[in-house]
Chains A and B, each alone.
Chain A
Amino acid sequence: MNENFSAEYKDKTDEELVAMTLKDEAFYALLVERYEDKLSRYILRISGGSKEDVEDTLQDVFVSAYKNLNDFDQDLKFSSWIYRIAHNKVISNFRKITARPKTVTYEGDNQLLNILASDEDMVHDLEKKYTAAEVKTILDQMEERYREVLVLKFLEEKDYKEISDILKKPMGTVATLINRAKKQFKEKLLLREQ
């Protein structure tokens, strides 16, 4: 598939590409290309696996998504739907390898995480900057249910509805989890500084 093909259909929405894929599988490549980087980073963030493991999982995600393409409908965004598949694949694949998936953060993430850390209700020196390594350590210590919402909210920049659709939890529950996750994150930050 050449660059002209990709360029021709780059303005198509995800939903349109899904409809086209169901008629001709070749169009699926466009969806894969659209989401491979994002999902690769997400899988790496929540699993901390090796490059090979991530690639294998990523391929599994896209194949699984293709098989279940008729299950996708307009009730939610395609991105939420495919993130959900990626999330579930990581849980099932990495639970076979390790009891506790580790977090990976990128250098760009610490800026977003500083937003988390310097939340207005935190009585703390707001000029304190945190390295990606520090943030990663804290995230690794957190319970999985808190870590996954923090990653989605602050690193993947998903809104509450998207997180609700990805994790298949009510929005109210998502809001509660994020509040508790932020609280736990800050407590661990303070502990580190003491």
Chain B
Amino acid sequence: MTKLSESVIGKIKQEKICPTPRWHFLLKNYFLWLLFALCVLIGSLSFSVIANMLSNGDFDMFNYLNGSILTSAVLMLPYFWLLSLIIFAFVALYNWRRTRLGYRFRRRWMLLSSVLMSIILGGAFYEIGLGSEVDALMGKSLPLYDLSKHSARREIWMQPEKGLIMGKVIDVDDRDEKIVVRDEKGRMWMVSEKGVKWKMKLKNKFENKKGKIIKIIGERKGADEFEAKEIRRCGDCRDDEDRDGDEDDRK
């Protein structure tokens, strides 16, 4: 036995040092993988909301916007969710790197892989409607979230002089093919929808138009009159059926 080996064995015996149990290392590794999976999951949910917002976006409305296309595109981007996707991609990378064999992969590929996983899973979540659910949940939980989302939309759709209005359907006259719409400022509009097909953004067919929040492209005919050429349902707005209680009663 060499002097060093004697000293090491002596210290181990004297201080009663024992090897840390294997389960400790396994648990640590599994925990890191779990955190990684959680980050990918949150990233996926973020992506599903992004997909939902983009699919409900009004990118064909650039012509009607006040600013440049770039300004408008900037206004419409879902920043919160993009930031969430990026942050959780980096957190996922951090956790992956700390797994047992995580060091063997280059950071850029790990980051790319976790983003890709989030996109693929997020795409699946979007298809099953989770994107809109999460968006709605955020709107209910955080009033500021809903407010910031609406302000961008309002920028585009509250331009009656340019033939754009948005509001809730208050009343329906099927015989004369007219609807009464109340916009966010509380102003009432009489809208003629003769021969206009409603463009639905959601998969579920709706029968009752009352209470739905819609976007109208058309022409202003009078102080409070509007002739619609196209009507779109607001895909990520909270209609009456999505809210608790009756909004009209509250007003």
Question: What is the interface of chain A, defined by CB distance below 8 A to chain B?
Answer: 1-2, 22, 25-26, 28-30, 32-33, 36, 55, 58-59, 62-63, 66-71, 75, 164, 168-173
Instruction: Report how many A-B pairs have Cβ atoms within 8 Å.
Output: 76
14 chain-A/chain-B pairs, Cβ below 8 angstroms: A28-B5, A29-B5, A29-B8, A29-B9, A33-B5, A36-B4, A58-B4, A59-B4, A62-B4, A68-B25, A70-B21, A71-B20, A71-B25, A164-B103
Q: Any chain A CB within 8 A of the CB of B245?
A: no
CA distance A18 to B101 in the complex (A): 20
CA distance A170 to B1 in the complex (A): 38
Q: Any chain A CB within 8 A of the CB of B203?
A: no
Shortest CB distance A74–B (Å)? 12
With a cutoff of 8 Å between Cβ atoms, the chain B residues found around residue A32 in the complex are 2, 4-5, 8-9
Selected from A1, A70, A168, the residue in CB contact (under 8 A) with B1 is A1
Q: Is the CB of A75 within 8 A of B100?
A: yes
Q: Is the CB of A22 within 8 A of B19?
A: yes
B 1-44 to A, binary, CB cutoff 8 A, 1 in contact else 0: 11011111101110001111110110000000000000000000
Q: Any chain A CB within 8 A of the CB of B104?
A: yes
Interface of B is mostly: helix
With A68-B19, A75-B101, A170-B105 in contact, do A63 and B5 touch (Cβ < 8 Å)? no
With a cutoff of 8 Å between Cβ atoms, the chain B residues found around residue A1 in the complex are 1, 5
CA distance A13 to B153 in the complex (A): 69
CA distance A170 to B104 in the complex (A): 4
Q: Any chain A CB within 8 A of the CB of B187?
A: no
Q: Is the CB of B103 within 8 A of A169?
A: yes
CA distance A177 to B61 in the complex (A): 51
Question: What is the interface of chain B, defined by CB distance below 8 A to chain A?
Answer: 1-2, 4-9, 11-13, 17-22, 24-25, 100-101, 103-106
Nearest CB to that of A18 among chain B residues? B19
Most chain B beta-carbon neighbours within 10 Å: one of A63, A75, A173? A63
CA distance A171 to B109 in the complex (A): 13
Nearest CB to that of A168 among chain B residues? B103
CA distance A137 to B82 in the complex (A): 50
With A75-B100, A170-B105 in contact, do A29 and B6 touch (Cβ < 8 Å)? yes
With A36-B2, A75-B101, A169-B103 in contact, do A28 and B20 touch (Cβ < 8 Å)? no
Q: Is the CB of A36 within 8 A of B19?
A: no
Q: Is the CB of A171 within 8 A of B104?
A: yes
Q: Is the CB of B104 within 8 A of A25?
A: no
Nearest CB to that of B97 among chain A residues? A168
Shortest CB distance B121–A (Å)? 25
Nearest CB to that of A28 among chain B residues? B9
Nearest CB to that of A40 among chain B residues? B4
CA distance A30 to B55 in the complex (A): 67
Q: Is the CB of B8 within 8 A of A62?
A: yes
Most chain B beta-carbon neighbours within 10 Å: one of A26, A66, A67, A171? A66
With a cutoff of 8 Å between Cβ atoms, the chain A residues found around residue B1 in the complex are 1-2, 29, 33
Q: Is the CB of A70 within 8 A of B104?
A: no
Top 10 closest A-B pairs, CB basis? A168-B103, A29-B5, A32-B5, A70-B22, A1-B1, A69-B19, A71-B25, A62-B8, A170-B106, A36-B4
CA distance A71 to B19 in the complex (A): 9
Shortest CB distance B11–A (Å)? 6
Q: Is the CB of A66 within 8 A of B19?
A: yes
With A22-B19, A32-B5, A70-B25 in contact, do A63 and B11 touch (Cβ < 8 Å)? yes
